[in-house]
Amino acid sequence: MTFRNMVAENGLRWVAVLAGFTILAACSGSSGSSKTGSSAPASSARMASTNNDTKKKFQDCTKLLMDSLQKPTAPYHFSYKAQENINPKFPMDKTAKPEVGPVELEGDFSPDEISLTSVRGKEKTEHKAAKTDQLAWSMTALDTSGPILSTGMMLAFGQLVAQSSGSDSVGGVPADKYDFDTSSATGSTKAGLDIAKAMLTNIQSTKGTVWIEKSTGKLVKFNIDADYADKNSNSWKEHYEGVVTPK
């Protein structure tokens, strides 16, 4: 994939993620809100508040992770392993088919240096950049954006059905844990998801678990599966997992 294609693809992904959050928020407005007047039960108000808090965390956590990868303020390791479509022609070329293969990234980040090894299919690349070399730093940062934007799209859908599953520790960092499965959506929530899917993506359903750091709201661990199908009778499955470990 050329540098220009990488920039264009990641830009489109980011637009899609932002659009996904916006559309889903609009579609879920009626189901996600609750009247809190004197006649409304206090439990309903608390539930609405909890749901809104979860959605806000899902909307912010990938951006905060992206910021920390591109502008690290402390040393840490980021590991990403996935099975994704690796055909650069799909879906832009209508005759192309999805090809699922390995996409991996192992990176050591610090305020002054980033070192990355990335794999996409059979192609392996290595980058090492010092903060003083702005071009190399930007190229290295670009490699990290794809995995985060893919994850962000999953969470744009998952936010509507996410449920807290307690607290955990990720690399010694306290984190809130959430589970989601969009195939469980019903009523107006399902209607909102269906509208967003029709407008934005070939995602049919997605499920997984994410861990969000308590103190910063940053995504620090995720394990997600997604089912895809398009109008040309192509169907495939993808998997994404990643973890941030302080050093």
**For residue 41, what pLDDT band results from cuts at 50, 70 and 90?**
low
- Is the model more confident about 198 or about 181? 181
Q: Give per-residue pLDDT as tens, 81-140.
A: 999 999 999 988 989 999 999 999 999 999 999 999 999 999 999 989 999 999 999 888
Whether the pTM exceeds 0.75: the reply is yes
Q: Are 93 and 230 in contact (CB under 8 A)?
A: no
Structure tokens at 225: 């599966």
Q: Where are the domains of the chain?
A: 3-246
Q: Give per-residue pLDDT as tens, 194-222.
A: 887 877 778 999 999 999 999 999 999 99
Q: Among 45-49, 89-93, 165-169, whose mean pLDDT is lowest?
A: 45-49
Region label for 187, one of left (φ > 0), alpha (ψ between -120 and 50) or beta (otherwise): left
Predicted confidence (pLDDT) at residue 12 exceeds the cutoff of 80 = no
Is the bond leading into 147 cis (omega within 30 degrees of zero)?
Answer: no
